[in-house]
A = this chain, B = another copy of it.
Amino acid sequence: MSTPESRLPVPARLAALADALHAGDDAQVALLLDSLHPAEIAGFLESLPGEERQGLWDALPRERHAGVLAELSQGVRQRVVADLPLDDLLAITERLDPDDVADLVGSLPDVRVEELLGALDSQDRARLEQMLAYPEDTAGGLMTPDAVTVRPDITVEVVLRYLRRRGRMPDATDKLVVVDRRDRFLGEVTLTALLTAHPEQTIAEIVNRDAPALAVSTPASEVAQTFARRDLISAPVVDAHGRFLGRITIDDVVDVLRAQAEESFLGMAGVRTDEDLFAPVLHSARQRAVWLGVNLVTALLAAAVIRAFEGSIERMVALAALMPVIASMGGNAGNQTVALVIRALALGQVSRRNAWTLLRREVQVGLLNSAFWGSAIALVAGVWFGAAALGFTAGLAMVINLITAAAAGFLIPVTLRRLGVDPAVASTVFLTTATDVVGFLAFLGLATLILL
């Protein structure tokens, strides 16, 4: 792999690849593709619009399809595999690790899954069906059955001889799994322990029996947290009887962590994670429309509040200019609390015991900031409209709305979580409804009482 191309840094090679594709220089495309890692090709593929994407896919040697497919994000992968001929699909499944095959099958429409299962021989089918039996977002869905297992009663020397005869080990093998005759999990031996042990020692003497084994039904988010907290590279998965089923490796956990982070980030803005940069426009529009519709309903709710005060606005039109200021400050302050609480919930740091303290603390922060910015708006509005009483009303409404925002910013995500709804996706809609309605109500209501 020491062509001149492979010596360029990756971004330069990707730029050259884009040029070569554009110019239709097939030889150069092939040379550049050869120098790139499957994950780099996958990332590049995602940045291409539809037609060019197909062109690059076709230019890719067939034996590399499997590797690239395994690295594609879900949305793009679905589109790529949807039209793949059965032969190609079979060839691809043969090259992938069992857990990656299961992921791939998860991206296929049901009809195509049936078709694929029908084309496999009975042994492969049984194996794949077993993998598919575990939900994707559990330890079972993340694990691969590939592992090196040893018995406790043999010596290090025998293990070393066995490994040499065996040859290549599965990716990310940092430990051997120690099991008894009935495949029950006993513990682990790290490769470093194996390498530093005396050849005559038995595995039983160097096994780590405290090594944590994950139950097959453990949720993926909990698996990720265990890995991150304990600095694991791989972890064994066991069934309810303690039998060893497979291993989870850090690379799959890194993918889980990235997917979770994306979900929260995009979810808060009302975008689904499987939305692809170049998905058909109609598809994207439809996916995003729902969120906009929900927001329209809540905005109309706020509009109804304003309409109830039409008489007041008619008599003092300055109210119309200031009322969005009060509402939007509440939304911004509440969002700060929401983001902090969602992070704390994800880290498991909110409990019955500290909830009250947390709520009180957020309200105190809201009180301080509302006192400060409430005074500011009172001053600005008073001077701008030449009416001290109007300024005072705006300031007071700001205090009410920022305290509401702090309380709602805490209570909404906590309640959603308790109801089993993802707080990252749904919190902001409820929050802005609360801060808009309370903001308009407080300001227009106070103005009606005080000023008119």
Contacts and interface: CB of A to CB of B under 8 A. Distances in A.
Interface of A: 1, 11, 15, 18, 37, 39-40, 43, 46-49, 71, 160, 163-164, 166-169, 171-174, 191-192, 194-198, 210, 227-231, 233, 250-251, 253-255, 257-258, 260-262, 264-266, 268-271, 275, 277-278, 281-282, 284-285, 288-289, 291-293, 295-296, 299-300, 302-304, 306-307, 310, 313-314, 317-325, 327-329, 332-333, 335-336, 338-340, 342-344, 347-351, 353-354, 357-358, 361, 364-365, 368-369, 372-373, 376-377, 380, 432, 436
Most B Cβ at <10 Å: residue of A167, A285, A318:
A285
A262 B333 contact: no
Majority SS at the chain A contact face: helix
B329 A320 contact: no
Contacts of A257: 254, 257-258, 261
A328 B293 CA distance: 12
Nearest to A159: B195
A20 to B, nearest CB: 12
Given A47-B354, A307-B318, A277 B340 contact: yes
A155 to B, nearest CB: 14
A377 B297 CA distance: 10
A359 to B, nearest CB: 12
Given A43-B347, A163-B195, A302-B325, 8 more contacts: A37-B229, A172-B174, A265-B343, A277-B349, A300-B325, A307-B318, A313-B320, A328-B436
B195 A262 contact: no
Contact of A296 (B172, B262, B376): B376
Nearest to A269: B339
A148 to B, nearest CB: 9
Contacts of A310: 317-318, 320-321
B336 A288 contact: yes
Contacts of A197: 164
B230 A37 contact: yes
